Amino acid sequence: MENQLIINGKRSDGRGPTDLRPLKIDVGIIKNAAGSSYIEHGKNKIIVAIYGPKDSHRYGMNLEKATLRCRYHMSPFSTEERKNPQPSRREIEISKVIRDALEPSLILENFPKTMIDIFVEVLQSDGGSRSASITAASVALADAGIPMKDLVEAVAVGKVNGTLVVDLNDIEDKEGEADMPVAFMLNENKITLLQMDGKMTVEEFKAGLMMAMEAAKKIKEIQKEALLKKYSHDENKK
Amino acid sequence: MMPSKKLLVSAVRKEQILKSLAQGKRVDNRGLLDYRPLTITPNIIDKAEGSALVKLGDTQVIAGVKIGVGTPFPDTPNEGILIVNAEILPTASEYQEPGPPDEDAIELARVVDRGIRESKMIDFTKLVIEPGKRVYTVYVDISVIGMDGNLFDASSYAAVVALLTTKYYPLINQNGTLVKGSEKVSLPVQDLGVSTTFAKVDNYIIVDPTWEEESIMEARLTIVYDKSGNICAVQKGGNGALLVDDVLNIIDLAKSKSEEMRKVLEGVISNA
Amino acid sequence: MLIAIPGEKLGVIEAFEPRGDFIIKDGNIYATKLSDVKVDKKQKIIEIKPLKKGFVSVGDIVISRVDYVQRPFAFVTIVSALNKDLAADIKGMIYVNPDFEYSPVVEGSIIRAKVIGTSAGMLMLSVSEPGLGVLESYCNYCGGPLVVRGRNSAKCTWCGMVLRLKLAPDFKSKALPHRVMLD
């Protein structure tokens, strides 16, 4: 009855349990934004733009540091069925967890009474869009020159047919037994996002966390490469 | 999009809280890993099929269950529907404005929803009237009426107790028309997910944070364990980070704490 | 050249003196921005220079417009800054000593000022150093053009009012487009 998603140790898209999907990041794709990035992670295609720090007059602004705002939005054409462009409850929750995942990495005290906006637009969605959004947004924030303690990289681990696997694709996300997106600040050995749904034993949870950390290290290399590519190119032009 | 409401905790008060934690005590005199007094009153709303009022210290949450009939989602034609909605009422605190649920309330609803859904608490395949056409819709509406931190656990307890005490008239299909059954039945319950919430304040891991503690915390972690000791939902919250070791530590603490709270919840149900 | 990524460890504080934009944690030096890093092994200095122009911060010289003066403060909007990106208008204020007879800046003037700190969440600016002060202004009584009449004072050619201002060496007069006369 249950779909066999892992056959002879290979996943539905031919990957092994710890392999990442193809991951590509471009930096600086929107001229007007302070910083921006584009990520392709599996079938995910996501644009992130950073605006600010800008003056904030709103009630609730912080006198001691910059206020971070985040909007995660899925384009109506990003899914199989047209998605209502109104923000759904899922999008509102994800906006919040992305913000909470990025804020610990930033040094916001330098910009009191200002606002930094993170706009995430999912052009095409696949499994792990929130993880990909965080990975891309951290790069965009670096591109914007917002001071930070470390880059943040996120990846999901999950359980599919009883096996722990990293970086779930759409079908594994929907039909697997568990899905756990995690975001790391690797320098400080810290976790800035952790969600899980499904069923996992305590041992699986702990092993999964370590698998996610290994995958995050690989993602960090790709983030670095993307930033270096943009900036060493810019330097050569001068 | 805007960050959550936090209490402004004065530097003196913060120092007091931290000093107390250093001595292994909270400002309200409980231990670092103690819950506040918890009272759960099931069946407090007669008109709802199931309901419960939870008081966790000064946090007060009321949950009501209504059973309706709806068409199933196309991807799950043979399953009933669960809809969880949460609202932080303007009665809850002076900072709460009336209006549609804000991101805090939406996160709350979704985390409670995940705990119920992923623990497989209710066997939704038994809530089908006509496969593919008509199924029961279980609405869980959560209203936070008083706010003093740890809304996640309070709301989750209110929701699960309300579901466990739900009694409704089944609908019977008689030649295409639905007829109300004569006797009330309970929901097909098969598991119980128990939520526990921990917070990291300074370097201390505490359970069941108050609003004050939540306002100065680094981050919190909510974990739901099912009957057989599997983790079925996790949510990190707050705009700080947790060390990897903190997470591993909390996972273990949560397991024993959830067993303790499970006994409390089961006690409430058996007396209801 | 060596480019550092935010969060990249650049060395230990015992061995090098860091300069520029960085943070120190557990004795290690980390970059906080994409930076150009130059290591001077002889002098034991690591110079960490951000690749992107930063935001306005303490020590910067900025050009601002004076929005209004409400002693003891003059409220200004920063419109540009040397070698800095301004994502949007940033507000700041200048402390005007209430014991002074006159305010060094007047409403509507364009000034060159230095950022000296933050207070109550606003950038605090100062025009007291040489070279700083009013770059462009008109008479704040009638809007007429001004002529410099000596150190730190200017006279309106329309109404004859003498204004006392902190003038920048490259001060230029301007006038409002309409002359409003009231009898």
- State whether A145 and C34 contact (CB < 8 Å): yes
Q: What is the mean pLDDT of residues C167-176?
A: 80
What Rg do the C-alpha atoms of chain C give, in angstroms? 22
The pLDDT of residue C183: 45
Residue B138 lies inside a defined structural domain of this protein:
yes
Provide the percentage of residues in chain C whose pLDDT is more than 70: 88
Q: Shortest Cα distance from A147 to chain C (angstroms)?
A: 5
| Bridge partner residues of B189 (DSSP) | B122
Q: Chain B contacts of A199, Cβ < 8 Å?
A: 118, 120, 226, 230-232
- A1 pLDDT more than 60: no
The pLDDT of residue B90: 82
d(CA B65, CA B49): 6
Residue A79 lies inside a defined structural domain of this protein:
yes
- pTM (2 d.p.): 0.78
Q: Chain A contacts of C25, Cβ < 8 Å?
A: 149, 188
- State whether A235 and C3 contact (CB < 8 Å): yes
E strands of B121-211, at which residues?
Answer: 128-130, 134-146, 167-168, 171-174, 177-180, 185-186, 194-201, 204-207
Say if residues A99 and A69 touch (Cβ distance below 8 Å). Answer: yes
Residue B152, domain CATH = 3.30.230.70
Q: Chain C contacts of A150, Cβ < 8 Å?
A: 6-7, 30
A232 versus B63: the higher-pLDDT residue is B63
The pLDDT of residue B246: 95
A113 versus B182: the higher-pLDDT residue is B182
Q: Shortest Cα distance from B29 to chain A (angstroms)?
A: 30
Preceding amide of A181 cis, omega within 30: no
Determine contact: C34 vs chain A, CB below 8 A.
yes
Determine contact: C119 vs chain A, CB below 8 A.
no
pLDDT tens sequence across B180-221:
888 999 999 999 999 999 999 999 999 999 999 999 999 999
Residue B19 lies inside a defined structural domain of this protein:
no
Could you tell me the pLDDT band of residue C121, with boundaries at 50, 70 and 90?
A: low
What tokens were used for A154?
């996120």
Task: Report the chain A residue with the minimal C-alpha distance to residue C57.
Answer: A110
d(CA A208, CA A195): 12
Residue A169, domain CATH = 3.30.230.70
Q: Shortest Cα distance from C141 to chain A (angstroms)?
A: 30
Q: What is the mean pLDDT of residues A43-60?
A: 81
Residue A60 lies inside a defined structural domain of this protein:
yes
Determine contact: C26 vs chain A, CB below 8 A.
no
The pLDDT of residue A57: 64
Which chains border B (3 or more CB–CB pairs < 8 Å)?
Answer: A
d(CA B257, CA B223): 10
d(CA B251, CA B246): 9
What tokens were used for A15?
């990957």
Could you tell me the pLDDT band of residue B225, with boundaries at 50, 70 and 90?
A: very high
Q: Shortest Cα distance from A71 to chain C (angstroms)?
A: 19
Q: Chain A contacts of C62, Cβ < 8 Å?
A: none
Q: Shortest Cα distance from B111 to chain A (angstroms)?
A: 9
- State whether A187 and C30 contact (CB < 8 Å): yes
Residue A195 lies inside a defined structural domain of this protein:
yes
**C110-119 vs C133-137, strand pairing mode:** antiparallel
Task: Report the chain C residue with the minimal C-alpha distance to residue A66.
Answer: C121
Q: Chain A contacts of B114, Cβ < 8 Å?
A: 197
Determine contact: B231 vs chain A, CB below 8 A.
yes
| Bridge partner residues of C63 (DSSP) | C80, C112
What is the number of domains present in chain B?
1
- State whether C7 and A52 contact (CB < 8 Å): no
Domain that holds residue B199: 27-271
Residue B12 lies inside a defined structural domain of this protein:
no
- A29 pLDDT more than 80: yes
First to last CA, chain C: 68
- State whether B244 and A190 contact (CB < 8 Å): yes
Q: What is the mean pLDDT of residues C142-165?
A: 85
Provide the percentage of residues in chain A whose pLDDT is more than 90: 68
d(CA C33, CA A141): 9
How many Å is the maximal CA-CA distance in chain B? 71
Say if residues A180 and B207 touch (Cβ distance below 8 Å). Answer: no
Topology classification of domain C2-50: OB fold (Dihydrolipoamide Acetyltransferase, E2P) (2.40.50)
Q: Chain B contacts of A86, Cβ < 8 Å?
A: none
What are the residue ranges spanned by the domains of chain C?
2-50, 61-130, 136-173
Topology classification of domain C61-130: OB fold (Dihydrolipoamide Acetyltransferase, E2P) (2.40.50)
Angle formed by the axes of helices A202-237 and B244-271, nearest 10°: 140
Predicted complex ipTM exceeds 0.95: no
Residue A210 lies inside a defined structural domain of this protein:
yes
Could you tell me the pLDDT band of residue A59, with boundaries at 50, 70 and 90?
A: low
The pLDDT of residue A238: 46
A36 versus A233: the higher-pLDDT residue is A36
Q: Shortest Cα distance from A6 to chain B (angstroms)?
A: 22
Determine contact: A52 vs chain C, CB below 8 A.
yes
Domain that holds residue A217: 11-237
The pLDDT of residue C120: 63
- State whether C55 and A53 contact (CB < 8 Å): yes
- A20 pLDDT more than 70: yes
pLDDT tens sequence across A148-202:
999 999 999 999 999 999 999 999 998 899 999 999 999 999 999 999 999 999 9
The pLDDT of residue A61: 66
- The residue among C34, C77, C124 with the most chain A CBs within 10 A of its CB, best to mutate, is C34
Q: Chain A contacts of B110, Cβ < 8 Å?
A: 89-90, 93
Task: Report the chain A residue with the minimal C-alpha distance to residue C9.
Answer: A187
d(CA A40, CA A48): 12
